[in-house]
Chains A and B, each alone.
Chain A
């Protein structure tokens, strides 16, 4: 008996070994390195000796408003994009989870943005957001509003730049969540719906009492992943706004890359990523806690 158990534990370790190795190599090790580097003045390519500077890098990044602004932007982005993108993806998945002529076509269309490289998507959206009346979005809004729309320079407007990036991100990322939710929907046992229909439950009650509870784990997964991605926001910012106007769209990741590769201050960049990691982990833990509590209540 104990021998058998021992063997099973060994096999279990064997199977999770590659995963653990990957995590250790690509998550734990870089993080520990970043923690180490953030306490130094490491500069890219500098021939000067490396110095231990303690918490100086952290003191500096917190003594300027830029990083706080970046983290606030990340937070705002997550707060808007995570619920909106999840809801839209759920809606799309529900629409596409039925027998419909040309279903494959629609699913492909909605999933396609996910396949495009993010940089390409960002460039296309820069053109969509072009300023002036000839800009694609501006002229579309002009037509829709019967000429009442005043053309805006979306990506250089302090109030519209971040929403513009949110829109791009939602459009690009929605398909991914949609596919996951679609898989979740198809895993729901059809008998549940049949039984509910027999009991006289309408579409809405079926959705609230069967679909949502059955999708619970899928939705939790989707929300967690989207949140983490929201804190990693970089590509769109780099291509569409370069953090501007006046830091309205800068993010922690963008600041870290700017420091480490733009100004060759790796120590500072590392300190920013350490802060970012801690914030992201804290928020993920908080989310999990809230979700777990709900489970206990229900």
Chain B
């Protein structure tokens, strides 16, 4: 008898606890939920201000932000989707777009954004947000990737300073430069590859050298498979070159993320987000350079966090209002001012001090508009592709045979694509 009573008590408690989570909504006010990644503090503060500004302007809509740690972001989204708990607005990292669309979480934005606004977006942002011909996401900013160096230190070795992507150092030239720099360095480590970063960095930052060599993560035009492309001699060659820099001891482990600012290394392979910190430490001696050219021209990464809408009906319309608000030139510039990223609209870019024609980071804008930056593969298989590439990269870092490592990575990717029937 008693345990039955007990069970009943527990059941009632569970029910009460379940109900308590459902909050009553104020009549007439639509509460929108948005999930964002907990990025740099400056970025977070600006976004919170933007939401506050938006909420003040709106009568019937109130937006609420939930911050989620970056490292487990995709896992959290997958779990929420499983539980049917996705928010109305979702910020996510660009390359996951195809996967989320395929899973049916996002709605197209075509009818929510005026065409004039769409025309104002950078082509790279449109490419990132488009899957199978429809626009599903817009970013407020895009990313820039390159090498940072100290001009004086580079000139001292007799190196030329490339100003534009088509002037990039060749891979051999770059290797010689590293050797030259290492001669005058205390520990011989002169290059920072941001090995302290987690996860996605490695695909973002190092798949461009594979593409620069004529390889890729997978065959985007024809078969859609990784075998024959990711493990092609071009890809193998590029990563073997990189492995040789590691073997020669040119690369700093950078556990403390201070390799460049403390002067331990001469060159740092990094994104736009490091510009401010580096500028503060290095001053006018700082120079942003294109990544080395492995044969087919310098290539670089592109894409960043962007916004999609999961809501339907009126809530989707309200969410669209928020996206239009975020894409006003002033708001785009506010965010770009906080995180140093490339503004996502032409109108904002024109006003940007960093990225304008005479700006110190004009290179990054040029890379985006000049077809130098490569969008990561827009396929629902991307989570597997990036996981396999990261694993392969770490193995190569630790001295594994490049060809067999890439063959294994290609096999993992192709097996997943086959398991999913080619992601129909």
Interface residues of A, Cβ cutoff 8 Å to B: 10, 13-14, 17-18, 21, 41, 43-48, 126-127, 130-133, 135, 153, 156, 158, 242, 244-246, 258, 261-265
Q: Mark B89-107 against chain A: 1 for CB-CB distance below 8 A, else 0.
A: 0000000000100111100
User: Once bound together, how far apart are the Cα atoms of A46 and B380, in whole Å?
Assistant: 10
B394 touches A130 (CB 8 A): no
Q: Tell whether, in the assembled complex, residue B78 and residue A264 are in contact, meaning their CB atoms are under 8 Å apart.
A: yes
Secondary structure type dominating chain A contacts: loop
The answer to whether B241 has its CB under 8 Å from any CB of chain A is: no
Task: Tell me, in angstroms, the Cα distance from A10 to B3 when the chains sit together.
Answer: 9
Contact size range, B: 35 or more
| Residue in contact with B395 in the complex, picked from A18, A46, A130, A246, CB distance below 8 Å | A246
- Chain B nearest CB, measured from A60 CB (Å): 8
Give per-residue flags for B382-422: 1 if the beta carbon is below 8 A from chain A beta carbons, else 0: 01100110000011011110000000000010001001110
- Closest CB-CB distance, A141 to chain B, in whole Å? 17
Q: Knowing A130-B256, A246-B398 touch, does A47 contact B102 (C-beta < 8 A)?
A: yes
| Known A-B contacts A242-B394, A246-B398, A264-B383; A43 and B420 likewise in contact (beta carbons under 8 Å) | yes
Provide the bound-state CA to CA distance between A246 and B420, in Å.
Answer: 28
Residues of A contacting B75 with CB < 8 Å?
261
User: Judging by beta carbons under 8 Å apart, are A245 and B387 in contact?
Assistant: no
- In the complex, the answer to whether A261 meets B78 with C-beta atoms within 8 Å is yes
B81 within 8 A of A: yes
Selected from B255, B397, B400, the residue in CB contact (under 8 A) with A130 is: B255
Structural contact, B3 and A17, CB atoms closer than 8 A: yes
Expressed in whole angstroms, the Cα–Cα distance for A21 and B99 within the complex equals 38
B3 contacts A245, C-beta separation under 8 Å: no
Q: Which residues of B contact A17 (CB under 8 A)?
A: 3, 6
Bound form: Cα–Cα A163–B10 in Å: 46
Question: Which residue of chain A has its CB nearest to the CB of B411?
Answer: A64
Q: Is the CB of A263 within 8 A of B256?
A: no
- Residues in B neighbouring A156, C-beta threshold 8 A: 253, 397-398
CA distance in complex: A197, B387 (Å):
64
CB of B155 closer than 8 Å to a CB of A: no
Interface centre among B105, B400, B420, B421 (most CB of A within 10 A): B420
Bound Cα distance A258, B390 (Å): 12
Number of A-B pairs, beta carbon distance below 8 Å: 78
CB-nearest residue of chain B to A157: B398
Query: Whole-angstrom distance between the alpha carbons of A132 and B397 in the complex?
Result: 17
Contact between A14 and B398, CB atoms less than 8 A apart: no
Q: What are 5 of the A-B contact pairs (CB < 8 Å)?
A: A44-B82, A130-B256, A133-B187, A135-B255, A264-B383
B2 interface contact, C-beta 8 A: yes
Q: Which residues of B contact A43 (CB under 8 A)?
A: 419-420
A255 to B337: give the CA distance in the assembly, Å.
40
Given contacts A46-B103, A48-B420, A48-B421, contact A244 B394 (CB under 8 A): yes
Q: Is the CB of B395 within 8 A of A244?
A: yes
Q: Bound state CA distance, A135 and B253, in angstroms?
A: 11
Q: Which residues of A contact B400 (CB under 8 A)?
A: 246
Residues in A whose Cβ lies below 8 Å from that of B6: 14, 17-18
Q: B419's closest neighbor in chain A, by CB?
A: A41
Give complex CA distance A18, B75 in Å: 31
Smallest CB-CB A-B distances: 5 pairs: A245-B398, A45-B103, A261-B75, A44-B78, A262-B387
Which chain A residues lie closer than 8 Å to B399 at the CB level? 245-246
What 6 new A-B contacts, CB under 8 Å, besides A131-B253, A246-B394, A261-B72?
A45-B82, A45-B105, A130-B253, A130-B255, A135-B255, A262-B387
In the complex formed, the residue of A with least CB distance to B72 is A261
Residues of B within 8 A of A133 (CB): 187
- Asked if A153 and B398 sit within 8 Å, CB to CB, the answer is no
Q: Please, what's the 1-or-0 string for B355-399, where 1 marks a CB less than 8 Å from any CB in chain A?
A: 000000000000000000000000000011001100000110111
- Alpha-carbon gap, A156 to B253, bound state (A): 10
Q: Cβ of B74: which chain A residues have Cβ within 8 Å of it?
A: 261
Q: Which of A10, A18, A47, A263 contacts B104 (CB 8 A)?
A: A47
**Residues of B contacting A262 in the complex (Cβ-Cβ under 8 angstroms):** 383, 387
Interface residues of B in 144-180 (CB under 8 A from A): none
Evaluate contact between A45 and B2: CB separation under 8 angstroms: no
Docked CA distance A47–B3 (Å): 42
CA distance A41 to B416 in the complex (A): 11
Please report the C-alpha to C-alpha distance between residue A17 and residue B10 in the assembled complex, in whole angstroms.
12
Which residues in chain B, 236-277, are within 8 Å of chain A measured between CB atoms? 253, 255-256
Taking a contact as CB atoms closer than 8 A, the residue among B10, B81, B398, B419 that contacts A45 in the complex is B81
Note all chain A residues with C-beta closer than 8 A to B10. 21
Question: Contacts A45-B82, A132-B187 known; A14 to B2 CB distance under 8 Å?
Answer: yes
- The answer on a CB contact under 8 Å between B255 and A131 is yes
A95-B40 Cα distance, complex, nearest whole Å? 46
Indicate the member of B6, B99, B104, B419 with the most A CB atoms within 10 Å. Answer: B419
Q: Decide: A14 near B3, CB < 8 A? Known: A242-B394, A245-B398, A263-B387.
A: yes
A10 surroundings in chain B (CB, below 8 A): 2
Q: Say which residue of B383, B394, B398 sits within 8 Å of A263 (CB atoms).
A: B383
How far in angstroms is the closest Cβ of chain B from A294? Answer: 39
Nearest Cβ in chain A — how far from B382, in angstroms? 10
- Pair A263/B420 contact, Cβ less than 8 Å: no
A21 to chain B: which residues have CB within 8 Å? 10
Contact A265 B416 (CB under 8 A): yes
Asked whether, in the complex, the Cβ of B81 is within 8 Å of the Cβ of A153, the reply is no
| A265 cross-chain contacts in B, Cβ below 8 A | 384, 416
**Contacts of A258 on B, CB cut-off 8 Å?**
387
Contact check, B256 vs A127: say whether CB atoms are below 8 A apart: yes
CB distance from B131 to the nearest CB of A (A): 14
**Alpha-carbon distance between A133 and B82 when the two chains are bound, in angstroms:** 48
Cα A10 to Cα B5 in complex, Å, equals 13
- Judging by beta carbons under 8 Å apart, are B384 and A263 in contact? yes
Instruction: Give bound CA distance, A153 to B388, whole Å.
Output: 24
